[in-house]
Amino acid sequence: MSASAIFVLDLKGKVLICRNYKGDVDMAEIDHFIPLLMQQEEEGMICPVITRGTVHFMWIKHSNLYLVATTNKNSNASLVYSFLYKLVEVFTEYFKELEEESIQDNFVVVYELLDELMDFGFPQTTDSKILQEYITQEGTKLEVTKTKVPTTVTNAVSWRSEGIKYKKNEVFIDVIESINVLVNANGSVMSSDIVGSIKLKTMLSGMPELRLGLNDRVLFSLTGRDKGKTVMMEDVKFHQCVRLSRFDSDRTISFIPPDGESELMSYRINTHVKPLIWIESVIEKFSHSRVEIMVKAKGQFKKQSVANNVEIRVPVPSDADSPKFKTSTGSAKYVPEKDLVLWTIKSFPGGKEFLMRAHFGLPSVEKDELEVFFLMSIDFFVRYMKIIEKSGYQALPWVRYITQSGDYQLRTNA
Amino acid sequence: NEWMFLFSLVCSGEIFELKAELNSDKKEKKKEAVKKVIASMTVGKDVSALFPDVVNCMQTDNLELKKLVYLYLMNYAKSQPDMAIMAVNTFVKDCEDPNPLIRALAVRTMGCIRVDKITEYLCEPLRKCLKDEDPYVRKTAAVCVAKLHDINAQLVEDQGFLDTLKDLISDSNPMVVANAVAALSEIAESHPNSNLLDLNPQTINKLLTALNECTEWGQIFILDCLANYTPRDDRESQSICERVTPRLSHANSAVVLSAVKVLMKFMEMLPKDLDYYGTLLKKLAPPLVTLLSAEPELQYVALRNINLIVQRRPEIMKHEMKVFFVKYNDPIYVKLEKLDIMIRLASQANIAQVLAELKEYATEVDVDFVRKAVRAIGRCAIKVEQSAERCVSTLLDLIQTKVNYVVQEAIVVIKDIFRKYPNKYESVIATLCENLDSLDEPEARAAMIWIVGEYAERIDNADELLESFLEGFHDESTQVQLQLLTAIVKLFLKKPTETQELVQQVLSLATQDSDNPDLRDRGYIYWRLLSTDPVAAKEVVLAEKPLISEETDLIEPTLLEELICHIGTLASVYHKPPSAFVEGSRGVQHKRLPCSAGSVDSPETSSTAGVSDAPPAVIPSQGDLLGDLLNLDLTPTTTGPPPPAVSTGMQLGAMDLLGGGLDSLCDTLVCDLQIGAGFGAAPAAMPASFGAPGSGGLDDLFDLGSGVGMPMGAYSPPKSVWLQAMKAKGLEISGTFARRAGVIQMEMTLTNKAMSVMTDFAIQFNRNSFGLSPAGPLQVLTPLSPNQSIEVALPLNTSGPVMKMDPLNNLQVAVKNNIDVFYFSCQYPISMLFVEDGKMERQIFLATWKDIPNENESQFQIKDCHLNAVSNKLQGSNIFTIAKRTVDGQDMLYLSVKLTNGIWVLAELRIQAGNPNYTPCICCYSAVIKNITPSF
């Protein structure tokens, strides 16, 4: 059904740690993984699934590690990849960084986690907060208090333990949005959407029932109300704590939140956005394969507003050399490991226009796509958050709106 | 670095020291020692020598230490089975520990110890754990049943664990339910006939309830299990869909894809005019789009699946073109998949946008991606006719870039565009010819040569161009050589005067100087054609080519259906059925989409049913050639297929003949079986499809069906009137077919109902499916006086010309006498074609049966059939019983039949024991071409 075994490899393919869950695939098969991957890389045709005979390797890469699952069945591939990413998440929460060293330093805990996260190829409990209640890094602690299974593990509410207490009950709600725009060489917006998420930091006692109200257009048209600006959410994804069937029937977002920080939901809004920063670029070729790239950036938003920390990335071919830059504001530098020029503008006032000239030795100028990271405003807002708990305490919800850098790609003529 | 430190300890030969530490009295020291052992195990050192010492540490109340020892056991128990027994006692004890964590740990670990001797001891602890009060232990025990089943299936069945596991589906705890479902699915997958997951509306309801409460992974297990269920009707289907759709909003991509799988499958059953059907379609698009913002590997899985979904239900994603636009930082595998989907979604409405995108991509840096983008432009041209002109001009622009690989790809696709739209874009040939020298890839060279040969009359220096290729003839790849040979022959036929020398040169290069049999054969064929009959040569070589199919890259419909049932899995990623890459899954039944509850409202519906009347929508282009040839009307064919197709096309054509005709063949077979079994089924009891006009004349067979007790020997229907006197100036012919002593005979009664004497009888057959033709002249020696009848038996052979008929067993006959020529058509029982040596070797039968592709299989039900004596009677008709066995109260007969043209038909006859008077049978027909006799 899913994985036969899970391996954590270093970049050379050495097995750092592994766990054989089903025993139906020879564990030595993993030795073929790196050579096959190298071969694919050479051919420029890498693929997340690698096949050798009857064995299939599904892999992801994280920092200096490969996480690989093997199987010889018709496994649920999406489940395997989700699980591998979950593995990264759990390990990261346990060891801060997931890398070669942290695996080696914590091999006992890693084995314990691998044992608890998956059984016979079936993912089990993967919520790191709950896991931390009974798999701890300090082994000595175990001897004193005999560890019990938290009932949470098998509860219907598997993400929150009972008996949590806070003196002051508070919820912090962060609405974080980023905009993704793809703009054509002739300036037309080819696709744009806003990807947002609501993050919670819950500091509430007991088992509170929360209800979140949004300016969701579907809900408003359902109830026949029309209070100002509403947003059409294209697609919404919820944390497992949200009662999906309830949302499906009456668009109510009701849930018992996990304690501490969590991502409650993410959504996508299809809107037509005007790029806030307009980019034009001109590439001039001189003799001796010298090339000059001129990039012009113009702020297309209100004069009073300022965009902070704007980054403009200009991809250049990997064989570029001896770069020189001139900017009218901010600073530009060449990042050879990512094959791009990074132009950073600390503060970008509306209506202004800036220039950057980059001078290169380029044997082959082929393509040019720019990426801009900047800030954006939000239409989406939280209308209310209701908190109900048996003990009837007063709780304070705090809402904060943040815009994060989105992915804003402009294609320009080479 | 603790790990390296521990490792270095072991390396420095301190294994004895470790041994001492393991046996130390101090807990802390013991634990450190076990840690060291595990550390060296992790780096691949063999520490199995310490087995007894480590197992001694097992009895401890330190959970961490226990876990480490268990880990050690899992690794080494297999290599030390005798010593592993030492651990059994502790396992049994731990399964009764007051701490559920330890109980679960014990039951989890013992399932991972794959040692036969141990497994027996574990049954009792497992039984207890399955009934444990703590759900954490129960959910672990549920998985343990699957583990044990993997080691010793019989033991698990004998101990009744499967039933306990089934009971756990009703457990109050959703995690336990989910794991029970996962374990049962796993067991069912390896034992497809076990009927373990006996899903009924009650269990489905339980699963749907648990779905709302269990973890994300549990939801996936349940959804994947639901996908195996086939609802009884469209209402049940809809209610399940309604309860599954909320899962589309789950944050976990795998949950979303599994939900999509269930919905795509159950949607088949919903009537298309239902409002809910439209709502559901609309609900599917957004979550699929959102999957594209997941991690790249998940995006890749999603894209491979969207590719399938788009082919099955294009309407879902038809407005979502933009989301598939490529971003520069997408990994290459994501880029290529997006491109493929863009082409599938391309339509007249969005073609301008698509083309603009593709042109962008064609100037990218990544060579593979650029190539694919150029090909995509060609595919657009072929798919959307209105865009062809734009595509061609885009391709020309790209050729002007002179980037070598772009030019080559462009030429390959332009060749296809020429094929698709003849006489439209030939003006660009001059531009193409300019780039002749830069082509260094065989495919591009072959394409260019094809273009030059095909349009030789428009290219002034075609001979020079082709001659330039000829110089390095032997260094070219086969593809180019073959194409060059054909092109020069074409050129010669078009401009014979100037190119005689050239053609002789190429023919001698191909026939005398080459050791490639394909090339030689083709060379000789041309040579003989040209020397014996130049006119015929022209007709053959310059024949009009059938149009190339628009979507040759579509997945074949039955495979597509199967893949839809496997959404989210590796099969959907590879676009291959699981049987193609999973060992031991050959015998496993291929998954099918359920049939629509609605009536036959679309060809789609009929293709979902097991029996399809429509020929597969996608025919490989080569097969087309012969398919067309075989489908030609009665008028004699003068044009042959173009030579390249001859060698391979023949076989495909034969396959096609059988593919299309398989149904009718099967229909006929079923009837024969019925009659063989000596049972008269009322025609009304037959499935509707039998009443199809195609099998006309079968009714006659049924009438006789009750004539029971056919003696040993082939069944022969009674004579029926083939030619009515009124229509044949007084000549009446009635007749039948029979197989006597291995010879097919056409037995006729000729009656003269006219006023004058009839003489000079002769008979002739039109080409037919099995090449039946008279083995000798019609023996009517004496003149036939008025009102006189004569019985004639005409022996037939099967070496005549072949043409696929519809129905397959149709035979068109012309009879001549002194008065006139008369035509009639009649149908012969297929059983007549069953040859005496149709008994297949058991081994071969087994092997062949497994290899039969799914699409060649059909199922039929016969009502009222007895097994008794069936096999003897069948044998009389040359239907041979290869094996007989009884499974689950069903009697199975395996039958083989060989037709005169060498086609084998394998069948499985299943008879449910029980009421002998009414026993439904299922026949499974599979056709496989063993060899093609020369008559083909």
pLDDT tens-digit series, residues A74-106: 999 999 999 999 999 999 999 888 999 899 888
Q: Beta strands A170-183 and A396-403: pairing type? A: parallel
Q: Tell me the average pLDDT across B283-302.
A: 93
Residues B871, B883 contacting (CB under 8 angstroms): no
Residues B856, B928 contacting (CB under 8 angstroms): yes
The whole-angstrom separation of Cα B265 and Cα B274 is 16
For B264, counting Cβ atoms within 10 Å of its Cβ (0-12 exposed, 13-18 middle, 19+ buried), the class is buried
Select from B570, B575, B582, B591 the residue whose CB has the most chain A CBs within 10 Å, as the one to mutate to test that interface: B570
Select from A78, A236, A237 the residue whose CB has the most chain B CBs within 10 Å, as the one to mutate to test that interface: A78
> Lowest-confidence range among B323-337, B426-440, B854-868?
B854-868
B200-233 CB burial, b ≥16 within 10 A, e <16 = eeebbebbbebbbbbbbbbbbbbbbbbbebebee
Between the two ends of chain A, the Cα-to-Cα distance in Å is 48
**B651 pLDDT above the threshold of 50:** no
* Structure confidence by residue, pLDDT tens digits, B17-55: 788 888 887 878 888 888 888 888 888 788 888 888 888
Q: Do B247 and A244 touch (CB under 8 A)?
A: yes
* Structure confidence by residue, pLDDT tens digits, B861-894: 665 555 555 666 677 777 777 777 766 666 777 7
**Angle between the N-to-C axes of helices B116-130 and B100-112, in degrees from 0 to 180, rounded to the nearest 10:** 150
pLDDT at B298: 97
Q: Is the ipTM of this complex over 0.85?
A: no
CA-CA-CA-CA torsion sign (A137, A139, A140, A144) = positive
Smallest CA-to-CA distance from A187 within A342, A270, A296, A330 is with A296
pLDDT at A381: 67
pLDDT at B615: 38
Cβ neighbours of residue B11 closer than 8 Å, sequence gap 6 or more: B40, B45
Q: Tell me the average pLDDT across B610-632.
A: 36
Q: Does B363 touch chain A (CB under 8 A)?
A: yes
Q: Calculate what percentage of chain B has a pLDDT beyond 90.
A: 25
- A84 CB neighbours in chain B (<8 A) are 297
Q: What is the pTM of this model?
A: 0.68
> Lowest-confidence range among B62-76, B587-601, B665-679, B799-813?
B665-679
CA-CA-CA-CA torsion sign (A337, A341, A347, A351) = negative
Q: Do A112 and B64 touch (CB under 8 A)?
A: yes
Q: Do A268 and B185 touch (CB under 8 A)?
A: no
- B591 CB neighbours in chain A (<8 A) are none
Which residues make beta-bridge pairs with B541? none
* Structure confidence by residue, pLDDT tens digits, B723-766: 888 778 888 888 888 888 778 888 888 888 887 888 888 888 88
Cβ neighbours of residue A287 closer than 8 Å, sequence gap 6 or more: none
Cβ neighbours of residue B538 closer than 8 Å, sequence gap 6 or more: B493
Name the residue with tokens 């650029």: B370
Q: Tell me the average pLDDT across B443-449.
A: 91
Option in B35, B182, B246 nearest A247 (CB): B246
Residues A30, A7 contacting (CB under 8 angstroms): yes
Nearest CA in chain B to A181: B327
Q: Do B568 and A77 touch (CB under 8 A)?
A: yes
The pLDDT mean for chain B works out to: 78
Residue B606's pLDDT band (cuts 50, 70, 90): very low
More confident residue, B90 or A67: A67
pLDDT at B684: 35
**B326 pLDDT above the threshold of 60:** yes
pLDDT at B889: 63
Q: Does B192 touch chain A (CB under 8 A)?
A: no
Q: Does A73 touch chain B (CB under 8 A)?
A: yes
- Which residues of chain A register pLDDT less than 50? 139-146, 365-367, 374-378, 414
* Structure confidence by residue, pLDDT tens digits, B791-805: 888 888 888 888 777
Q: Does A396 touch chain B (CB under 8 A)?
A: no
Smallest CA-to-CA distance from A206 within A5, A387, A22 is with A387
Q: Tell me the average pLDDT across B574-603.
A: 69
Phi, psi of B881 (to 5 degrees): -90, 125
Residues B110, B140 contacting (CB under 8 angstroms): no
The whole-angstrom separation of Cα B647 and Cα B372 is 30
Name the residue with tokens 């919520």: A127
Q: Tell me the average pLDDT across B432-455.
A: 88
